[in-house]
Amino acid sequence: MSRFRYVKHGVKRKHGIVEGVLPLLEQISAIEGVEKVIPASIFHSSVRRINQPELRLQRDTHSGFKLLAHSKRSIQEIFVVVEKSKKEEVKHKLKQFIATPLHSSTNF
Protein backbone atom coordinates (compact mmCIF):
# COMPACT_ATOMS: atom_id res chain seq x y z
CA MET A 1 0.00 0.00 0.00
CA SER A 2 1.42 3.35 -1.04
CA ARG A 3 2.01 6.06 1.53
CA PHE A 4 0.38 8.60 -0.79
CA ARG A 5 -2.65 6.50 -1.73
CA TYR A 6 -5.21 9.21 -0.94
CA VAL A 7 -3.11 12.25 -1.89
CA LYS A 8 -3.98 14.12 -5.09
CA HIS A 9 -2.48 17.53 -5.97
CA GLY A 10 -0.85 17.62 -2.51
CA VAL A 11 -4.17 17.29 -0.63
CA LYS A 12 -5.15 14.16 1.29
CA ARG A 13 -8.66 13.10 0.19
CA LYS A 14 -9.45 10.06 2.29
CA HIS A 15 -12.03 11.90 4.38
CA GLY A 16 -14.56 14.64 3.65
CA ILE A 17 -13.71 18.22 2.81
CA VAL A 18 -16.17 21.02 3.49
CA GLU A 19 -17.84 22.62 0.50
CA GLY A 20 -15.80 25.12 -1.48
CA VAL A 21 -12.50 24.61 0.36
CA LEU A 22 -10.77 22.08 -1.93
CA PRO A 23 -9.57 24.64 -4.53
CA LEU A 24 -8.05 26.72 -1.72
CA LEU A 25 -6.24 23.69 -0.32
CA GLU A 26 -4.84 22.84 -3.75
CA GLN A 27 -3.49 26.39 -4.04
CA ILE A 28 -1.86 26.06 -0.61
CA SER A 29 -0.29 22.74 -1.58
CA ALA A 30 1.37 24.51 -4.54
CA ILE A 31 3.30 26.86 -2.22
CA GLU A 32 7.01 26.01 -2.25
CA GLY A 33 7.95 24.21 0.95
CA VAL A 34 4.50 22.69 1.58
CA GLU A 35 4.77 18.90 1.63
CA LYS A 36 1.08 18.07 2.04
CA VAL A 37 -2.25 19.40 3.19
CA ILE A 38 -4.36 17.20 5.47
CA PRO A 39 -8.04 18.01 6.07
CA ALA A 40 -9.12 16.78 9.51
CA SER A 41 -12.16 17.02 11.78
CA ILE A 42 -15.32 18.77 10.61
CA PHE A 43 -17.51 20.59 13.12
CA HIS A 44 -20.95 21.98 12.43
CA SER A 45 -21.92 25.42 13.63
CA SER A 46 -25.30 27.08 13.52
CA VAL A 47 -23.81 30.45 14.52
CA ARG A 48 -21.76 31.48 11.47
CA ARG A 49 -23.14 31.81 8.00
CA ILE A 50 -20.77 32.95 5.30
CA ASN A 51 -21.13 32.93 1.52
CA GLN A 52 -17.50 32.34 0.54
CA PRO A 53 -15.21 29.80 2.22
CA GLU A 54 -12.47 31.41 4.29
CA LEU A 55 -9.29 30.21 5.95
CA ARG A 56 -7.70 31.28 9.21
CA LEU A 57 -4.22 30.48 10.46
CA GLN A 58 -4.83 29.13 13.95
CA ARG A 59 -1.39 28.09 15.23
CA ASP A 60 2.00 26.57 14.51
CA THR A 61 2.42 22.82 14.97
CA HIS A 62 5.55 20.70 15.22
CA SER A 63 5.36 19.78 11.53
CA GLY A 64 3.80 22.96 10.13
CA PHE A 65 0.55 24.83 10.73
CA LYS A 66 -3.07 24.34 11.71
CA LEU A 67 -5.69 26.26 9.77
CA LEU A 68 -9.43 26.51 10.22
CA ALA A 69 -11.62 26.46 7.12
CA HIS A 70 -15.03 28.11 7.52
CA SER A 71 -17.70 27.28 4.96
CA LYS A 72 -21.41 27.96 5.36
CA ARG A 73 -22.29 26.10 8.59
CA SER A 74 -19.15 23.98 8.85
CA ILE A 75 -15.68 24.46 10.29
CA GLN A 76 -12.84 22.10 9.38
CA GLU A 77 -9.37 21.72 10.82
CA ILE A 78 -6.65 21.72 8.15
CA PHE A 79 -3.06 20.68 8.85
CA VAL A 80 -0.31 21.93 6.55
CA VAL A 81 2.92 19.91 6.69
CA VAL A 82 5.99 21.89 5.62
CA GLU A 83 9.73 21.40 5.22
CA LYS A 84 11.38 22.47 8.47
CA SER A 85 13.94 24.61 6.66
CA LYS A 86 11.18 26.64 4.96
CA LYS A 87 8.68 26.96 7.81
CA GLU A 88 8.96 30.74 8.28
CA GLU A 89 8.86 31.37 4.54
CA VAL A 90 5.73 29.21 4.17
CA LYS A 91 4.11 30.95 7.17
CA HIS A 92 4.64 34.33 5.53
CA LYS A 93 3.17 33.08 2.23
CA LEU A 94 0.20 31.50 4.02
CA LYS A 95 -0.57 34.79 5.76
CA GLN A 96 -0.42 36.58 2.40
CA PHE A 97 -2.65 33.95 0.79
CA ILE A 98 -5.24 34.11 3.57
CA ALA A 99 -5.30 37.93 3.45
CA THR A 100 -5.93 37.93 -0.33
CA PRO A 101 -9.64 38.45 -1.15
CA LEU A 102 -11.15 35.26 -2.61
CA HIS A 103 -7.65 33.69 -2.40
CA SER A 104 -7.31 34.19 -6.15
CA SER A 105 -3.56 34.68 -6.35
CA THR A 106 -1.42 31.60 -7.01
CA ASN A 107 1.89 33.42 -7.47
CA PHE A 108 3.48 31.98 -4.36
Average pLDDT, the chain: 83
Q: 50 near 18, Cβ under 8 Å?
A: no
Question: pLDDT for 62-106, tens place per residue?
Answer: 999 999 998 888 899 999 999 999 999 999 999 999 988 655 544
- Is the confidence at residue 2, as pLDDT, over 50? no
Q: Which residues contact 53 (CB under 8 A, 6 or more apart)?
A: 18, 19, 20, 21, 24, 69, 70, 71
The DSSP code for 10 is T
Collapsing DSSP to helix, strand or coil, 98 comes out as helix
